[in-house]
Structure 1
Amino acid sequence: MKRHALTIGLSHAIACAALLPAGAAFAYSASPDGAADPAGEPRQLDTVVVQGEITYRNRTTDIAPVLSYDLEYFQRFEPSTVGDMIKRLPSAVFVSDVLEYDAVQLRGLAPGYTRVLINGKDVPGAGDDRSFWVDRIPAEMVERIEIIRSGSANRSGDAIAGAINIILRDAYEFDGAYLRVGAMRYDDGEVQPTFGGVASGAALGGRFLAGFNVQDRYNPKVKRSDRFDNPDDRNLVSWEDQTDTRDGQDYSGNVSYTTDVGQTGRVSIDGFYVKTDREQVEVSHEEEYDGDEVVTSDVPGLTEVDQSNWGLGVEYAQDMAGGTTEFGIKYAGFKDRSNESEEKIEFVDGEWDAHEAEALDIDVDDRETSLQAAHKRSVGDSAVRMEFGVDYRDKKRDTTHVYSAFEAEDEGDPVIYEADGVVHSLIDETRLDPYLMFSSAAGALSWEAGLRWETTDSEIRYRADLDEPTETVSQDYDVLLPSAHLKWDLTEASRINFSLARSLRRPAFNDLIPALLSEEFGDNDFIGNPFLEPETANGLDLGFEHQLGERGVAGINFFYRDVKDVIELVNTGVPNETAYDDWADDVEDYMDDNGVDQDTAEAAVPFEPNSFIYTMDNVGDGEVWGVELDLATPLTAIGLPNTGVFANYSWLDSEIEDFIGKRRFNNQARYVYNVGFIQDLPDLAASFGASYRKQGDAFSRVLGEEVLTTYDADLEVFIEKRFGDSFSVRLSGANLLDAKKREYFSKFDNEADQVDRDFDEYEEEAEWAGPRYQLVMRWSF
């Protein structure tokens, strides 16, 4: 069973609401050339609905290395979610199911190393590793997406791999209204609708925006698994055919209100809500060969997902004390009321033999309240700017997992679950993070330097069963995070970025809870470690960027991370109950075979356990490095101004040492690249284009299991027709190459068998979903 969790862990030091206006003084975001100025005129929504020009990557003015992409960069391929958008960006990897883009892995590292922000602030998410699933946010809510490659003092440092900042539409960016209506057809013939709208304008003495989106989410997949006793002999021991259909709806909305107060003040109130209702139905048929017997099994499974995210914030900015002072308060939350169940009905040579089932009910409630205060001002008459502030955050995450089981005595017995265990935990984290930062943007050489001090006090209350008393464990730690950035404009078109920054990764929630989970890794048990320290990393980024003509841009970036105190699974050395049960069985067999009493048998049969209790610990260091290239430009230089090309390529590598030896960080793809083009036909008011994506192999090794994951290439195309200035129709197709995901599982009973390569089972699995097509109409008014 999967164990769901959530997170709130990162907030920008000067952004105080859950969803702040991208153009407001207090919201962190890049300021790309051409973006609307808060004091200027907002863009008309019809310019978004009907795109007369191809949109390329923005060149930002940030001193820290930031890549910025407007919604129009992605929109012609009709992405459904933010995940569909992010998959096109440099170093963005997903090790997910086919056509699922949920937990993003920047630079190929596990999702917990990437910080996902909404308007510069952290939000609770579904990942136990404190990650946020980006497929929960519909693409239509987004104004632009930024990749923040390196940390600064005025942002929380939880971003070893980097951060993704999702800037939502706000009242100062758009003026007008539009509707979006469409439908998507899937490989099995199912048709699902989608619709949404946005309206923005002057209201109540300020500017107001409201948006909504409703879309059906559907993904019919097919899986095939073949299992062997080992990868060399390839003696088939079992196989499985499975259908996996995911059907649900996402409902979302956001609001933004901003008004000026006095001569220099501004108040902003912002909020968002996202709800996911989803049902995943898995139906499997298995066949296993056990000697002369053939064991067949029907395995139905059902997962019902009911999750919601929301945020509400207020901010106030005012010129005072020789600079600008900013205050804010944010309240954000996440709820998960989901359940998972799986049955197995087994037949031996066609005769009923067994019927078992297990279920997991998930109840998660995560709430976070944060306060921020900051002041910015010039240092005397110089061009140096000083910023200082403090972030306060109180987070409470209440989780209950209820495990149930069923075992039939006779064929046809109804499934009646009985309680099989409860794990309840309440994690309370309080953070107080002051910072100080200086910067200067005068002349060709711009720089920024700062120091952030992050302090965390945590208390974990837990019980492994409702009948057991609640136990409490406390832990506190603090980390100093220096950072420095340099931007050197060699010419108006070329510049160099150099960054040094220290960052961290906090432990996953379930890794902290000291409740014993039986046979969590093969025959081995697991217990969390509440005294884990965060991982830290000293990072370097060195990049070069060049503007091509008026609208094109090309860049190359080298990155390196020296990661300390890496959290990995370790053996406590304590045998678990399975080890004692196995030894008791050996003693009993010895008694029966030799006709001796128990004391004699115990003396003759040594206790040599092969299964233990494992935990997480800070075990050592690792290194991550790579090169990232990106290009987005019209082909004006060769006489094709209406042809735009897009390409990025990331080569990724790392090294860490575990209980077997050296390997890459788990599930880091070796490379990922995207190439594509858009051809505009101005005389016909039409355009078309294609996009091709390929991701390299990813390998993961944990106790008892090793997995190699490969993906076929993905091809997407679109064709668009525009009617006047306010109406467009677009047809797009995705997964046109019928791409497959393939996984190769090496399974072992215990650590000793894994080291000796004594396989319990070797499995090859293929998964595919087929092409899907979408027709969308947009109308602005």
Structure 2
Amino acid sequence: MSKPSASYPHPRMIPLLAASALLVCNLAQAQTTPPDTEAKSAAPQVQSPPADDKAAKDSNQLNRVEVIGNNSDQEQRRTSTASRIVIGKEEIERYGDSSVSEVLRRLPGVTTGGRPGRGGDVRMRGMGGGYTQILLNGERMPPGFSLDNLPPDQLERIEVMRAPTAEFGARAVAGTINIVLKEALKITANELRIGTSVEGDQASGNVSWTRNDKIGENIPYTFTVSLNRSNSRDDSESRTLWTDLNTGALVLDQQATGTTLNKRQGLNLNARVQIPLGAGESLSIMPIAIMGNGSSSTVGKLNQAPGGAVVQPYASTASEGNGTFNMLRANLQWQKRVNDATKLDLRLNGGGSLNTTRSQRRELDGNTALLRLTDDSTDTRENNWSLNGKASYQMENEHSLVAGLELDSNARRQGRTTLQNGLPILTEFGDDVNASSQRVATYIQDEWNPSKQISAYAGLRWESITTQSDSANYAVSNTSNVLTPLLHATWKPDEKSRDQWRSSLTRSYKAASLQELIARPSISQRYPTGANEISSPDRAGNPNLNPELASGFEIAYEHYLNKGGLISANFFYRRISDLIRNVVALETVSWSDQKRWVSRPQNVGNATAQGIELEAKVRLDEVWDEALPISLRTNLSVFDSKVDQVPGPNNRLEGQPKGTANIGADYKLRNLPISFGGTLNMTPGYDLQISDIQSSSMGTKVVADAFVLWSVNRETQVRFTLNNFVPRDYLSINTALNASQLQLTESNNPSRLNWGVRLELKL
């Protein structure tokens, strides 16, 4: 398997010294340049566009800019002091994706877990598991909420911030993705979308309605209602081989196959009402409701070669499950402009969710006689509130100050019952888990333009998180406090230049999740009693985890083209201390009279991560006069990382590939109301050394998508989509060593083509 290779310097101080030198040079040059006295907004800091840009905006060029992307989106990216990529509605809706994670995987440096075409957990720079901060309307996502619960047609825009800022939070070692829901407009509009898609032999459908209007003369509102039903089929096959280390003899050869049918339906509602209260004062009300339920059924077979020393545990399995998820939240935002220089912003959020799951698994022998019956039932209720306040002050000397205070509290009550052949297990740990977390944060930041060529940012944020759990036989109490200084700077070689440089020095962190801290064990499904194997461990938490701390450096170059195009290169570096990783060890446990392999999160030491991110957006006729006006988008990211306490090679951060790449093109026919395009996303395979006794290999992931948009008239569009139209199997290998055996499992998860059609109406 071919893999890209890259080499980066690992010494800690070189990047930090380089960043310091760049910031000092920028500020030194600012002292010799007369300050710009033009008025500016409080935040984010913006720079005036070059005069030649303004002169270039004739009507013909405006039409061309729209093909590449929304000009205001590009302008926000260009004028932001801290790096920010803005993705507008046109790009979000282009391929008719069914989940937000599918939209995100086309962005520079973003990858997703799971098989091709199925979305999955979102990772910036290949770093998942809490390294990537996901925000909803600038707030941390509520507990239990998943991006898969949110249809893409409810989004207004997506903001990608590669480095943390004081206002948006420092729990963003890899970066921040802020998802902004639809905003109220001052015009009356109705949009109706009806779509269907087919994957293999499974059909899905969705319908959504968005309305913008006014209550009376001056209260604009918007609401979106989405109904969706999805059906999918997942096939899997795996082979497990155990080899004796002393003799080389094959101890075990098992082949497992399985088919899962999933059904899910949901109702999503969100709205925004903006109420003017007086001059410079307004109140916004933003409710959101999600109601969903689903079911799944799985059948599996296990074949074992004869002659081995291990008894075959079962011949077949049958599992059924169902679940519900309901969430209701409301956000109140009060804004008041006290005077020309001062603005106040207060946000109050509150809500709750209820998640229920029921499952049953039957293990049968070759004669279909029942060997083991496992029933699992879980009810999880979460309640959350938060209060955020900030004050913005525009000083006369080109400084824009923002100070804020954040409070939030989350309470979880979980009841779980697990029965083995009708009898409860893990009774010593109790069935109920009561947990809570409280967070307090305060910050201050200053943005200023020392000159028309330079913008600078300095921020300081302090955050404290306390997590507690009170359950039978164990109680958890964990508190972490983190102080994070942050520096950003942007420099243009010339006031009218289309080139600019960015640099950042940051400190960020990753707090242990509630699931990682709570110590209630989860028993191996393959070996629920007696001794288990290193390849099928039990799982438990660790209440003594410390947060991961990361020092970061970024430097970037950006060149903006005349017709809305862009060429950029970004280098990042992170030095992480107290890295959290799951470690498998043989333990004496209270839930078994035999020693069992248990996987627990632990602080294992230090790690580094670095990479280069390249991006280009250009129209062919911008570089070649005779070319068709085809819009090209391409990005390439190369990643590298090293965990100091894990032996090499391939001692990378868990789940981080060596890179990812996207290439796409769009074209609008000149004489017909049709536009079409396609994109290719590739993440190469990679090897990972997890510990001295565990390793894994992940196969290459390739996803190709295409669309055709037919504008029937000004009110009607029909969108045809092909997603994952070159389906590939997703391969993985997991290897584990115990005292006498090498245990290897090869897995293969096929993917399928998904085609769809959607009618889009403006009523």
What is the TM-score with the length of structure 1 in the denominator?
0.81
CA displacement 1:119-162 (0-9 Å, x = unmatched):
11111244xxxxx6322211100111111111111122111111
Measure the CA separation in 2 of the matches of 1:480 and 1:565.
16
Task: Give the aligned partner of residue 593 of structure 1.
Answer: none
Structure 1 residues 106 and 642: alpha-carbon distance in aligned structure 2, compared to 1, 3 A threshold:
same
Choose which of 326, 344, 349 in structure 1 pairs with 2:345: 326
Aligned residues: 683
1: distance between equivalents of 2:564 and 2:362? 57
Query: Which of 167, 171, 175 is residue 184 of structure 2 equivalent to?
Result: 171
- Separation in structure 2 between the aligned mates of residue 558 and residue 446 of structure 1, nearest angstrom: 20
Counterpart selection for 1:652 from 611, 620, 639: 639
1:685-717 Cα deviation digits (max 9, x unpaired): 101111111112255555775432214421111
* Deviation readout 1:568-594 (Å, 9 max, x if unpaired): 345888634699647xxxxxxxxxxxx
* CA deviations over 1:526-566 (Å, ceiling 9, x no partner): 54332322111111111111112221112111111111111
**Structure 1 residues 613, 711: CA separation in 2 closer, same or farther (over 3 Å shift)?**
closer
Deviation at 1:423? Answer: 4.5
Query: Conserved in 2, the CA contact under 8 Å of 1:462 and 1:515?
Result: no
Measured after TM superposition, the shift of residue 504 of structure 1 is 0.9
- Cα 1:714–1:402 shift into 2, 3 Å: same
**Equivalent residue number for residue 212 of structure 2:** 200
RMSD: 3.1
User: Does the Cα contact within 8 Å between 2:647 and 2:689 map onto a contact in 1?
Assistant: no
**Which residue, out of 69, 87, 102, partners 1:84?**
102
Alignment of structure 1 residues 381-780 onto 2, 5 Å: 381-406=396-421, 418=424, 421=427, 422-441=430-449, 442-463=451-472, 471-490=474-493, 491-517=496-522, 522=533, 527-569=540-582, 575-576=588-589, 581=594, 611=596, 615-637=600-622, 638=624, 639-640=626-627, 642-658=629-645, 663-699=651-687, 706-748=695-737, 750=738, 752=739, 758-759=741-742, 761-780=743-762
Q: Distance in 2 between matches of 1:619 and 1:510?
A: 18
Q: CA deviation at 1:216?
A: 1.7
Note the C-alpha offset of 1:180. Answer: 0.4
Q: Give the match for residue 355 of structure 2.
A: 336
CA contact (8 A) 2:68 2:565 kept: no
Check whether the contact 1:667–1:698 (CA below 8 A) recurs between aligned residues: no
Asked if the contact 1:108/1:667 (under 8 Å) is kept, the reply is yes
**Deviation of the 1:308 alpha carbon:** 3.2
Which position in structure 1 is the counterpart of 2:53?
none
Which residue of the partner structure matches residue 17 of structure 2?
A: none
After superposition, the C-alpha distances for 1:409-437 in whole angstroms (9 at most, x for unaligned) are: xxxxxxx5755544532222222211111
Closer, same or farther in 2 for the Cα pair 1:576/1:420, shift >3 Å? closer
Q: CA deviation at 1:352?
A: 5.4
Output the amino acid matched with 1:716: D
% identical equivalent positions: 19
Residues 76 and 569 of structure 1: is their aligned pair in 2 closer, same or farther, counting only changes over 3 Å?
A: closer
1:242-281 maps to which residues of 2 (within 5 A)? 242-281=258-297
Structure 1: give runs of 5+ residues left out of the alignment. 1-24, 35-46, 127-131, 407-415, 465-470, 583-610
The 3 A distance-change label for structure 1 pair 698 and 365 is farther
Distance 1:642 1:272 in 2: 41
Q: Distance in 2 between matches of 1:265 and 1:672?
A: 46
Quick check: 291-300 or 672-681, which moved more?
291-300
Q: Does the 8 A contact of 1:59 with 1:553 survive in 2? A: no
Q: Would the aligned equivalents of 1:565 and 1:621 in 2 still touch at CA under 8 Å?
A: yes
1:73 is paired with a residue whose SS is helix
Give secondary structure in 2 for the equivalent of 1:100. coil
CA-to-partner distance for each residue in 1:312-351, whole Å, 9 max, x for gaps?
Answer: 111111122751112121114333212333221112xxx4
Deviation at 1:615, TM superposition (A): 4.2
Q: 1:569 to 1:768 in 2, by over 3 A?
A: closer
Residue 479 of structure 2: SS of its match in structure 1?
strand
- Residues 576/428 of structure 1: CA separation in 2 closer, same or farther (3 Å cut): closer
Distance of 1:282 and 1:516 partners within structure 2: 24
Contact 2:116 2:701 in 1 (8 A): no
Q: Which has the higher mean CA deviation after the structures are superposed, 565-574 or 692-701?
A: 565-574
Sort the Cα spacing of 1:515 and 1:296 in 2 relative to 1 into closer, same or farther, 3 A: closer
Cα distance, 1:116 vs. partner? Answer: 0.6
**Partners of 1:455 and 1:477 within 8 A in 2:** yes
Determine helix, strand or coil for the equivalent of 1:682.
coil
Contact 2:101 2:112 survives alignment (8 Å): no
Structure 2 counterpart SS, 1:150: coil
Question: Which whole-Å CA distance do the structure 2 matches of 1:475 and 1:324 have between them?
Answer: 36
Matched-pair contact (CA < 8 Å) for 1:226–1:236: no
User: How has the CA–CA distance of structure 1 residues 295 and 266 changed in structure 2, closer, same or farther, with 3 Å as cutoff?
Assistant: closer
Structure 1 residues 285 and 573: alpha-carbon distance in aligned structure 2, compared to 1, 3 A threshold: closer
Q: What is the CA-CA distance between 1:295 and the residue it aligns to?
A: 8.1
2:476, 2:517 within 8 Å by CA — same for their partners in 1?
no
Structure 2 Cα separation of the partners of residues 613 and 287 of structure 1: 26
Residue identity in the other structure for 2:556: G
The amino acid of 2:410's aligned partner reads K
User: Shift in Å at residue 384 of structure 1?
Assistant: 0.8
Quote the Cα distance in structure 1 between the aligned partners of 2:523 and 2:641: 32
The answer to whether the 8 A contact 1:219-1:769 is kept is no
Distance 1:29 1:472, change over 3 A: farther
1:617 maps to amino acid = Q
Amino acid at match of 1:181: I
**Contact 2:92/2:157 (<8 A) preserved:** no
**In 2 relative to 1, CA 294–377 (structure 1 residues): closer, same or farther, beyond 3 Å?**
closer
